Chains A and B, each alone.
Chain A
Amino acid sequence: MFFRLLMESFRRQRRRKLLAGIAILLGTTAVTAMLALATTIGDRIHKELAVYGANIVVYPKAELLDVKVGGVDVKPASGGAYLKESDLAKLKGIFWGNNITGVSPELPVQLAVARLGEDRLFPAKAVGYWFDHDFGSLKTGAPALHPWWRLQGEWPASHSGDVVVGANFAKQLGLKIGDSFRTQSAPGDAGASWSTANVVGIVTTGDETDNEILLPLHDAQTIVGVNDGVRRVEVSARTKPEDAFARKDPDTLSPKDHDIWYCRPYANSIAYQIREAMPDAQAEQVRRVEQSEGNVLNRISGLMWLISAAALLAAGFAVSAAMATAILERRGEIGLMRSLGASKGAIAFLFYAETGLLAVFAGSLGYLAGSGLAAWLGARIFAGDGGVAGAVLIPVLLPVVVALALVVAIGGSTPSIRTALRMEPSAILREDA
């Protein structure tokens, strides 16, 4: 009997059920979409912030001071300490190794260059980089960590004698893609021999790299004569914005706190783990990037959460108002049922069951629609970031959203049901006649 009542109510009052259902559907759609966007916004914005470059730098502990003014390094080229390129593989093994999204070693070289067939020498700074290097499952290198570099042509293959030159340097020597020029390792470096470099690309960067020659790391190592040596490594890692706890010195913490600190992806903890993995290296967070990124990330995700809360509130209001109206319209039914001898409890149960069924059904549909909407919005807004649209359905949200829909729908209909039950059946029926 109860189920027949329930079924008939859905079959016969399609318009009313549809209205309440649409309200719940729209509400859950909006809430799901906002929550789905809010939970993924951190990763998305982090990807965007990657344009600021590395957030951790690694250099040899025994390194002399950088004596750099306006991009010109006046430090004596000879001497100094190097990191081992082969040690970089250890970065994959650190606790937060999976959070490392890019690695770019550098090795600066002083060169003297001359145009083909001329003897006049120009001093030039060259830097050896990885360009498209296999690093575990990652393809990484300088272009990945400097997304603002604009290249015409292509990056050189490793160990090839091909180079990319900065735009100013190219202008200075009148070089075009496909041209060659002669290089001589500057005095002081091992083997001052001439070799020929082929220009395969021209890069504009907007900083001192515009005046430099970019060559494969192995070629730079050959010129300098330090096999396996690099001067500096830039690392880009996904990090958690810094808070007061992150700033603590890990060596002064209690063992338990130390473990917690160690197991959070702060830039400081990742730098600490890099120092552990490479004992002769010093790793530091790049504060300009790291601090400000955390700031921006916090604000934007905070905004999204607040907007989600607003959406939740608005949807809650809308759904409960719609439910209240839906029940209010059916006072006649309540009066009839009561006059036919139904108990208050049975009537309330019937109405709650209807409401619950509607909330679960419309809520699930709304969850699907909201997930789809979030995926679509995310893909449209963050287009071209590659693979961000991965998590379309967030399963955790389904019970959350449906439970919310249930609570709001039942909460919204309760006052109307109670008022209707409290009234005399005869009064309701007469009024409605």
Chain B
Amino acid sequence: MATLSLAGMLRRSLVHRRARSVSALIAMTVSAGVATALLTLYADLDAKLHREFRSFGANIVITANGSLPADALARVQQAAGVDALAAEFAYAVATTDTGTPVVVSGTDFAAVKRLDSWWQVDAWPDAALANAALLGQRVAQFVGNERAVALTYAGHTVTLQGVGRIKTGGDEDSRIYMPLAAFTAWTGVGPSVIELQVPGGAKRVEATMTQLQKQLPDVQVQPVRQLVEGESKIVDRTHALMYGAVLLIALTVAVSVLATLSASVLERRRDFALMKALGGSQGQLMGMFLLEALVLALTGVAVGFVVGSAAAWAISEGNFHTATLPHLSVLPMVLLLNVAIAAMAALLPVRVLRGLQPAALLKGE
């Protein structure tokens, strides 16, 4: 009789009331799972949103008065980090075969394609084609033959093969784009503008600009102000919204779980009375309840973390099309939350229980 150990009592208490234990466990799992999913998403949110904003294109423009130094692009890339996208542009005003002046730009098509994803281009030129050209949709009506566009700059004539049209609704619509090497060989003009896209918020953009100004003192470095400001504003607000949502949902789940658990503890008044009548002290009994709740809470965290991480992964795969890997860093928060709920669920009914007389309770009053 006296050999009944603590572990034995715990095991029996959990196994004997299996339905009750399972429903408590489910409640703890749900609270841990929801907390894990939301916190994981929340931890990744800013990075994910900033990624979406990359589709707006360049947020820094670097302009030289004449030509940029030859290694400018490499230095810009180095200053901005590997995850920044940069493309250089050279400009000249040439004349088409119909006598219309047109802006011709030399650039690297591969870089532009990544940087300016909003360009609607029906066919990007093959990298191997040295005289390929993209025509802005408005330019097309000013050239004689789109397949063989003859352009004159300072007496030099070049014939480009138009492979596609660009549609943007901006300045690009009235320009012709061609590979930089062919452009420089034809006009002798080097690149004068680098468009740079730095991921991350306003702080990173500012830091990069300072860095760039130091690296390239003779050029103008300017932010595309509406992009930088708009991005931080929207990311901040979505962040705040998400924060509100996380708090709200966590609170709801916590309180409901608390209500469920404390009701089931309260229901065990008779156990409580019996143990007390057999000589258990108040502290021992509370310890017993608390231990039971903690075991359930920890199991809930273990299962909930897995379920919640999977949910977070599914949500971000479905919405952002990128995976969110489980964040171990959210585990302490989840653990804290669940243990707090469990402890409160075990301890809150104490005030009710303490006032009860074992004898009266056992008699069924």
Contact = CB atoms under 8 A, between A and B. Distances in A.
Interface of A: 16, 19-20, 22-23, 26-27, 29-30, 33-34, 37, 41, 44-45, 48-49, 51-53, 56-57, 63-70, 74-75, 146-148, 205-207, 284-288, 290-292, 295-296, 299-300, 302-304, 306-307, 310-311, 313-315, 317-319, 321-322, 324-326, 328-329, 373, 377, 380-382, 432-433
Q: Which of A41, A67, A205: most chain B CB closer than 10 A?
A: A67
Contacts of A306: 315, 318-319
Contact of A45 (B234, B264, B320): B234
B337 to A, nearest CB: 13
Contact of B167 (A44, A287, A307, A433): A287
Contacts of B260: 23, 318, 321-322, 325
B242 interface: yes
B13 interface: no
B233 A319 contact: no
A236 B241 CA distance: 26
B52 interface: yes
Contacts of B26: 317, 321
B255 A23 contact: yes
A206 B255 contact: no
A305 to B, nearest CB: 9
Given A296-B53, A299-B49, A325-B260, A307 B38 contact: yes
Contacts of B142: 65
B264 A325 contact: yes
18 contacts: A34-B248, A37-B245, A65-B138, A66-B173, A69-B91, A148-B225, A148-B229, A206-B222, A284-B167, A284-B173, A292-B118, A296-B52, A300-B234, A300-B238, A311-B252, A315-B256, A317-B27, A318-B257
A138 B120 CA distance: 33
Contacts of B364: 432-433
Nearest to B266: A329
Interface centre among A34, A57, A300, A325 (most CB of B within 10 A): A325
Give me the 9 closest cross-chain CB pairs, A-B, nearest first.
A318-B256, A206-B225, A284-B169, A65-B174, A51-B230, A30-B252, A286-B169, A148-B226, A291-B118
A314 B253 contact: yes
B214 to A, nearest CB: 20
Contact of B34 (A44, A284, A314): A314
B93 A325 contact: no
Interface in B259-299: 259-260, 263-264, 267
Interface residues of B, number: 76
Nearest to B136: A65
Contacts of A328: 20, 267
Contacts of A284: 167, 169, 173
B103 A37 contact: no
A303 B234 CA distance: 14
Contacts of B170: 57, 286-288
B328 to A, nearest CB: 21
Interface of B: 20, 23, 26-27, 30, 34, 37-38, 41, 48-49, 52-53, 55-57, 63, 91, 93, 100-103, 116-120, 138-139, 142, 167-171, 173-174, 192-193, 222-227, 229-230, 233-234, 237-238, 240-242, 244-245, 248-249, 251-253, 255-257, 259-260, 263-264, 267, 311, 315, 318-320, 364
B291 to A, nearest CB: 21
Contacts of B245: 34, 37, 304, 307, 311
B223 A206 contact: yes
Contacts of A63: 138
Contact of A299 (B248, B264, B319): B319
Contacts of B253: 314-315, 317-318
Nearest to B261: A325
A205 B119 contact: no
B230 to A, nearest CB: 4
Nearest to B141: A65
A48 B233 contact: yes
Given A30-B252, A306-B318, A314 B30 contact: yes
A286 B364 CA distance: 77
Contact of B101 (A57, A67, A325): A67
A70 B63 contact: yes
Contacts of B57: 288, 292
A319 B241 CA distance: 24
Contacts of B27: 317-318, 321
Contacts of B255: 22-23, 26
